[in-house]
Every structure is written in C-alpha cells, then in structure tokens.
Homo-oligomer: A and B are copies of this chain.
Amino acid sequence: MVLSKFWTLQQHFVGFPKESDFELKQEELPEPKDGEVLLEAVFLSVDPYMRPYSRTHMEEGDTMIGIQVSKVVRSRNPRYPEGSHVLVNCGWRTHFLSDGSDLKPILSDWPEELPLSLALGVIGMPGLTALYGLEEICEIKAEETLLVNAAAGAVGTVVGQIAKIKGCRVVGCAGTDEKVSYLRELGFDQAFNYKTIGSLEDTLREAAPQGYDCYFENVGGDFTSIALAQMRPFGRIALCGSISMYNNTAPQTGPCINSNMIQKQLRMEGFLVSRWKHKHQEGLERLLAWVKEGRIQCREHVTEGFENMPAAFRSMLNGGNIGKAVVKI
C-alpha cells in the first residue's frame, strides 16, 4: 500500500489560473494485482494545452491532466520490470497503478547520459509537435523563411532548430531579452523581443523583407493577423497554439484575415499532435538522433517538488520558462 498525492482542479479557471484553483489531495493505492505495476512519478510535464483543455476536457474535482515519466516501483507485469521507466498519461499524481495498457516505453536506444525528462520535451510530444507542424502542415523546404513565435518555449525552440537543420532561414520572437539571446545561441537568423519593439509589423518586415513562406503559430490574437500580412504568396501557416488567448475571459477579436488569405493564397491549418500517431515512433527516433548528434540543443526549465506543480504551471503560462517546463520529484 502506498500513499499517492494528486492535484485536482478545485474550480474552473477564470482568467489566469490562481493557486486556489488547485487542490492537493491524497489517496491510498492498493498493492498491484497480477498484470499490474505501481508507478512513481520522476518528471511531470506542464504544458500550455492544459489551460484550454481544463475547460473542454475536465470537470471541477478532476485530477489535473498530463503526462509524466514514471519509474516502475513494484511490478507484477513482466513487460515492465521494477526499476524501468515508462511514459504514462495519468495526470498530476505521484503514484499510479496501471495494468500496462496505457504505458509507453522510453525509446530503447535512449542514452544513459540524457535526462529522461527529455521524453516530455524535445524527444516527446513537444518535439513531435514541432516536427509535424513543419513537415506535415507547412511542408517546409530548404531555403524557405520561417517565422515562429513563442520561439523560446518547449515547441518553439525545436521548431527553429529543425528548420535550421532543413536549411531554412528562421525568425523567432519571444518575450524577454534572455530568451532572445538564447534563440541566437540556437542559431536563429533573427530574433526579437516582441515586448520591447516599436512596431511588430515593421520588425517582421525588416527581419524578412522578402516575407515568410512558413509561419508556425503558437500565440494567436493580434500577432496572427499582423504576421499574415508579411507572408509570401502560397505561404503556409501551422496553427499549433494560442497561448496569448488561453486566459482571456472574453473572446479575443482582431482584424479579419480573409483578405490576406485570399490575395496571397495562403493555407492555414490547425493541428493536434495526435493526428500522426502512426509516425510517432519514427519521429521520436529522428529527434533522438538529432539530439545525439548535437544538432538540437535541449534546454529545460526544471521546478523541484510535486507540491510546486501549480506554481510551475502558472509560471509556464506566464512565460517564465526557457525551453521545456518540467517538474522533478
């Protein structure tokens, strides 16, 4: 018998999530039965999607959703021996009892020197999101110019680095000078702090006077319509996230985009990483190879302690992280 702690959504968020919207609870878990394993959280993920999904996928009182890297601490399932690590989408919990059907193994050729937390980031869903957005939605080609916003985040950092590997010109923006410096370290051709520039329109134009072929959109709101005016004919826009809008209490309005979309014959598509499940394995292997070769840098923003899950989540929503935000137990 083990005591599991878990965080619930005490009440639906209104505007920016408050500490009091979460409640820390605990429960006793029985010993694993035949076929079951008892898991203990090692790294937990906090991601932007949890904010909109709290409204669409959760009731008040539900355990907060999310994926984690867990260690098998007791096993009665030969596929998952004690001491091995797995990925499990069990929410914000310290312990979890699984029959194995909902577990994903860590890649078999995972190098010992790589932190397992990367399976929540560059070599996980955020990395795949970057890859699919560029390859499946943008169909990006060498020599093209890419714009990515929230570029210092878990997805944006990978987007820019993959585009550089593919021989593209990359313009990224973020919300602090430290993030902008990091983007330059990563090899972005141009990077700017959207909070300190004068005109976003002018800055985007100066960063790529010929315009943008591809645009990886993580932010939403006004940014989208201003950026669309700088697209080249037949430009492609991958709509991945709208972090500027998640905490709005009223619908965000902005200029109607139809004119630019038509005149330039732009294609815009929203996507969820789950669409390409059949490609996950191959995608993760490519990401791992790029990391091993040093072609993708992996910076993480690590918060320690399960009790700090809400704080880590709130900080991430506020742009407090560079790279992937994870919580280490």
Contact = CB atoms under 8 A, between A and B. Distances in A.
A98 to B, nearest CB: 28
Contact of A258 (B224, B263, B267): B224
A87 interface: no
A200 interface: no
Given A242-B256, A245-B256, A251-B255, A263 B220 contact: no
A217 to B, nearest CB: 7
A261 to B, nearest CB: 4
A262 B245 contact: no
Range class of the A interface residue count: 20 to 34
Given A270-B266, A275-B265, A258 B52 contact: no
Nearest to A220: B258
B270 A263 contact: yes
B270 A245 contact: no
Task: Kindly list the 7 A-B residue pairs having the minimum CB-CB distance in the complex, ordered from nearest.
Answer: A261-B270, A262-B270, A267-B269, A220-B258, A252-B256, A242-B258, A251-B255
Interface of A: 52, 56, 217, 220-221, 224, 239-242, 245, 251-272, 275
12 contacts: A217-B258, A239-B262, A251-B256, A253-B253, A253-B256, A254-B256, A261-B269, A263-B272, A264-B270, A265-B271, A266-B269, A267-B268
